[in-house]
Amino acid sequence: MTEYLQSLPDGWTIYIWLIAAAFILIAACYFIWWAAKNEQFDEDIKYVVFDENDKRNMSPEEFAKSVEVNKRQEARRAELQSQKKD
């Protein structure tokens, strides 16, 4: 194997690097597409961790947003679970 690699002309390794870079770019594009398709870029996800016990630590606007986001997330969860059962 070593003899074969040494018999190749100079500059062949750049093609391996180009193929590796193309694979990485294609994989990155695929995973970004997958994340967008599966609702992974939701800016309101930070509100899901809050509950009634956090009301006194939050402004009324933030708490209302938290409640609204939790309701929306639970509705989406129920929708996805019902789709899996079908």
Does residue 4 belong to any structural domain of this protein? no
Mean pLDDT computed over 15-28 = 97
Contact 41, 63 (CB under 8 A): no
Note the pLDDT of residue 86.
Answer: 66
pLDDT score of 26 more than 70: yes
pLDDT band for 20, please (50, 70, 90 cuts): very high
Query: Which of 34, 58, 39 shows the shortest CA–CA distance to 47?
Result: 58
| Burial tier of 62 (Cβ tally within 10 Å: 0-12, 13-18, 19+) | middle
Together in a domain, 30 and 68:
no
Together in a domain, 51 and 81:
yes
Together in a domain, 33 and 70:
no
Average pLDDT of the chain, as a whole number: 89
Q: How far apart are the C-alpha atoms of 47 and 71, rounded to whole Å?
A: 11
Instruction: Locate 75 and state its tokens.
Output: 């509705």
Together in a domain, 60 and 85:
yes
Together in a domain, 26 and 63:
no
Together in a domain, 57 and 82:
yes
pTM of the model: 0.60
Count of domains for the chain = 2
Domain coverage including residue 36: 12-41
Mean pLDDT computed over 35-55 = 84
Does residue 6 belong to any structural domain of this protein? no
Mean pLDDT computed over 13-34 = 96
Mean pLDDT computed over 9-35 = 94
Together in a domain, 46 and 80:
yes
Does residue 1 belong to any structural domain of this protein? no
Residue 9: alpha-carbon gap to chain centroid: 42
